[in-house]
Structure 1
């Protein structure tokens, strides 16, 4: 009998985090990632106590 042969792919499977990191750092996605970071910084600023600086003086 002929022994059974397994087909082995040439490269190992990448983890979720390495795939996500590669997609985030890809040059095509730079504007989207930058926009998300600026939006997150704006939300964090408006949620913090520093946002009271934007209020007019009374």
Structure 2
């Protein structure tokens, strides 16, 4: 007969870091790199199109 295995319940331990530290580690996580990069590129494009530099795109 195989030995009996006792199930050990894992306790939930809340994150001890603060809000800013958790946000920073979430933004710099390799899993979120593509999403963060996409949001930054979109923001840069909106800022460019809203600025006076967007007149460079108009035909002469």
Same-fold call, TM cutoff 0.5: yes
Where structure 2 has 5 or more consecutive residues not aligned to the other structure, the ranges are 1-12
Structure 1 CA distance for aligned equivalents of residues 34 and 14 of structure 2: 30
- TM-score under structure 1 length normalisation: 0.75
- TM-score under structure 2 length normalisation: 0.73
Q: Does 1:22 align with 2:25?
A: yes
Structure 1 residue ranges, 4+ long, deviating more than 2 angstroms after superposition: 10-13
Query: What is the alpha-carbon root mean square deviation over aligned residues?
Result: 1.9
Aligned residues: 48
Q: Does 1:40 align with 2:31?
A: no
